[in-house]
Amino acid sequence: MSGGDNLEFEIRPNPAPVSDAERNTLLANPGFGRIFTDHMVTIRYADGKGWYEPRVEARAPIPMDPASAVLHYAQEIFEGLKAYTLPDGGIAMFRPDANANRFAQSAQRMAMPQLPGETFLQSLREIITIDRDWLPPGDEGSLYLRPFAYASEVFLGVRPSMEYLYLVIASPVGPYFSGGVKPVSVWVTPDYTRAAPGGTGAAKCGGNYAAGLSAQAEAIENGCDQVVYLDAVERKYIDELGGMNVVFVLDDGTLVTPPLTGTILPGITRDSIIKLAERDGRKVEERPVSLEEWRSGATSGRIREAFACGTAAVITPIGAVKSADGEFVVADGGTGSVTTSLRKQLVDIQRGRASDPFGWVHRVL
Ligand SMILES: *Cc1c(COP(=O)(O)O)cnc(C)c1O
């Protein structure tokens, strides 16, 4: 299976799935990341043996030895993407090949073995197929897919683990913003940075999130919804939020977003927005933006809109920015027209309501 050939997954259906009635109750108001489907995918890895025992089985706790390497040294990576119901009742994933590539990049950074991209994609198709009844009804919800892998070797020495477990779990999710998209406020943390050059900022690993929790708590204490990080070297330039990339819209319609220099996570939503904007004939600049440029631009009107983007919320307008030196408002604190238009274009492609010129929509069923 190391060649990336199609694997034969062993399917072991859950002998006690959630009843139709209970599932429908859960799906009426799924929230985010609270409820889970009946199954999970597991694939094991051992040095010398490669990836083995690909399975679809009942979702259940995983027995774990207290000396499992991940519990001590955090060798772990994950992905996040969504499957949507199409207008004809079919089901599709959005750009799962990009998630497969990023998962491989994250694995490389964390000294983990790379799962072949075709196996990653097949694992997603397997769980969607067996748990297809878990897609929320209506045209706002989706099935959030969470592939991840961790060091499972029982060993306390500090070196890459020789054993790993890859899993996929799935969680039905409702609209991120119940009651419509609303702008968030962000706190520019003066105390914490997210990622330094040479660090793990471009890898999607749990450790980055653990390190960000204190900063997020600081944002809440300061009355803001989300934390935004400055670069670790000069403490001047906007990097990203804890789990979303940042994009600015100038008064001439140009999009500006921080460049991928290794300290920010290469978001697939970010990349999709760049491609959509360029198709619209907009100029897109990938360059550093300082907090000072943001502040003076928001005040002068040069920076008209700002938004955060990522799979969970797609596009979230940024209304207010608070830092140790004071507070300012972007675009009157509301949602700008470019933000609204890009969001609609992207969501319509994801849900199969608009044509898909880039081949982003991968039909599963
Ligand atoms: C996942 C993630 C994003 C957004 O990536 P998408 O592929 O658009 O979901 C942005 N920043 C961080 C830190 C992330 O972990």
- Judge if 195 and 284 occupy the same domain: yes
Q: By the 8 A CB rule, do 81 and 314 touch?
A: no
- pLDDT score at 6: 66
Considering the domain architecture, whether residues 253 and 106 belong to the same structural domain is answered as no
- Indicate whether residue 310 lines ligand 1 (CB < 6 A): yes
Ligand 1 binding pocket includes 269 (Cβ within 6 Å): yes
Residues 258 and 342 in one domain: yes
Q: Which of 173, 197, 212 is the last residue of a domain?
A: 173
| Domain of 33, in residue numbers | 10-173
The answer to whether residue 359 is domain-embedded is: no
Q: Which pLDDT score is estimated for 333?
A: 86
Is 146 within the bounds of a domain?
yes
Sequence-distant (6+) residues with CB within 8 A of 214 are 192
Q: Among residues 109, 140, 173, which one ends one of the domains? A: 173
Cα–Cα distance, 9 to 42 (Å, whole number) = 9
The last residue of one of the domains, among 173, 198, 227, is 173
Distance CA(113)–CA(263), nearest Å, equals 22
Q: Domain containing 257 — which CATH number?
A: 3.20.10.10
306 & 334 share domain: yes
- What pLDDT is stored for residue 180 in this prediction? 78
Co-location of 252 and 141 in the same domain: no
Please indicate, yes or no, whether residues 168 and 287 belong to a single structural domain of this protein: no
Using a 6 Å cutoff on CB, does residue 311 contact ligand 1? yes
Ligand 1 mean position, distance from CA 210 (Å): 15
Which atom number of ligand 1 is nearest to the Cα of residue 271?
8
**Within a domain: residue 128?**
yes
Q: What is the pTM of this model?
A: 0.97
Please tell me the predicted confidence (pLDDT) of residue 7. 75
Q: Which atom of ligand 1 is nearest to the CA of 310?
A: 8
Answer yes or no: is the C-beta of 212 below 6 A from any ligand 1 atom: no
Residue 332 to residue 126: CA distance in whole angstroms:
46
Q: Which two tokens stand for residue 64?
A: 């774990």
Q: Tell me which of 192, 204, 264, 342 to substitute to probe ligand 1's pocket, judged by most ligand atoms within 8 Å of the beta carbon.
A: 204
As for how many domains the chain has, the answer is: 2
The CB of 194 under 6 Å from ligand 1? The reply is: no
Each of the 365 residues of the chain gets a pLDDT tens digit; together they read 444 456 799 999 999 999 999 999 999 999 999 999 999 999 999 999 999 999 999 999 999 999 999 999 999 999 999 999 999 999 999 999 999 999 999 999 999 999 999 999 999 999 999 999 999 988 889 999 999 999 999 999 999 999 999 999 999 999 877 777 899 999 999 999 999 999 999 999 999 999 999 999 999 999 999 999 999 999 999 999 999 999 999 999 999 999 999 999 999 999 999 999 999 999 999 999 999 999 999 999 999 999 999 999 999 999 999 999 999 999 888 899 999 999 999 999 999 999 999 999 999 99
